[in-house]
């Protein structure tokens, strides 16, 4: 599978994502976080987290940034239901407000796992921000505090999200059509 041989249909373009990041940052600052630690869930959230962090800077916040690498997908397109810690947070969370950033809230298992972990470690408050949510896919009770977009029930790529490690570099969120040729790459914009 190569990115050059597949067409990608755009669901959320660069400008829509940029606008939502600014709106989410404004909502986060309105929540008045104290001693804020941002924890980005790797790998899928890295673009969203970077852009949201810059937006948070523009609204006057200067959080410390950490990363946790969790996986329930590995190389598949469907969650295994088991969340593994591949890289843990290094900073102290006790007594702090934490903003947990993830790319997509689907089953909810990964975010619930991460949120419970941070609460157990003594976080004062754990807020969650996701770029995308698929409300009909929840396997656990979980709602994000800040949501970029509600997503249809399709497998999405781009803006940090992948299909077997491909497509992360795309500056938009889209759906791959694996049956078209390379001349159709990036299709509808």
- Higher-confidence residue of 89 and 2: namely 89
Domain assignments of the chain as residue spans, ordered by start: 14-151
pLDDT band with cut points at 50, 70 and 90 for residue 185: very low
Between 14-30 and 46-58, two packed helices, what is the crossing angle to 10 degrees? 60
**Mean pLDDT, residues 179-184 taken together:** 46
Give me the numbers of helices (H) and strands (E) for the chain, helices first please.
3, 9
**Mean pLDDT, residues 21-49 taken together:** 97
**Mean pLDDT, residues 40-65 taken together:** 97
* Cβ neighbours around 160 below 10 Å, total: 24
CA-based nearest residue to 161, from 37, 8, 57, 53: 8
**pLDDT recorded at residue 4:** 53
**pLDDT recorded at residue 1:** 30
**Mean pLDDT, residues 30-50 taken together:** 96
Residue 184 pLDDT greater than 50, yes or no: no
Residue 2 pLDDT greater than 50, yes or no: no
Q: How far is Cα 163 from Cα 158, in angstroms, rounded to an integer?
A: 9
Domain formed by 14-151, architecture: 3-Layer(aba) Sandwich (3.40)
């Amino acid at each position: 599978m190569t990115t050059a041989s597949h067409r990608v249909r755009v669901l959320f373009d660069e400008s829509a994502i940029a606008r939502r990041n600014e709106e989410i940052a404004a909502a986060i600052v309105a929540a008045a976080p104290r001693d804020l630690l941002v924890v980005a869930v790797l790998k899928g959230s890295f673009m969203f987290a970077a852009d949201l962090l810059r937006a948070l800077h523009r609204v006057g916040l200067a959080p410390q940034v950490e990363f946790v690498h969790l996986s329930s997908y590995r190389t598949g397109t469907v969650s295994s239901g088991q969340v593994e810690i591949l890289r843990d947070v290094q900073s102290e969370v006790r007594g702090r407000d934490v903003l947990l950033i993830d790319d997509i809230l689907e089953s909810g298992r990964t975010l619930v796992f991460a949120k419970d972990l941070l609460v157990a470690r003594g976080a004062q408050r754990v807020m969650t921000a996701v770029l995308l949510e698929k409300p009909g896919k929840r396997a656990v009770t979980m709602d994000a505090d800040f949501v970029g977009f509600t997503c249809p029930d399709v497998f999405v790529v781009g803006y940090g999200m992948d299909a077997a490690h491909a497509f992360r570099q795309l500056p938009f969120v889209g759906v791959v059509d694996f049956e078209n040729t390379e001349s159709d790459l990036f299709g509808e914009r």
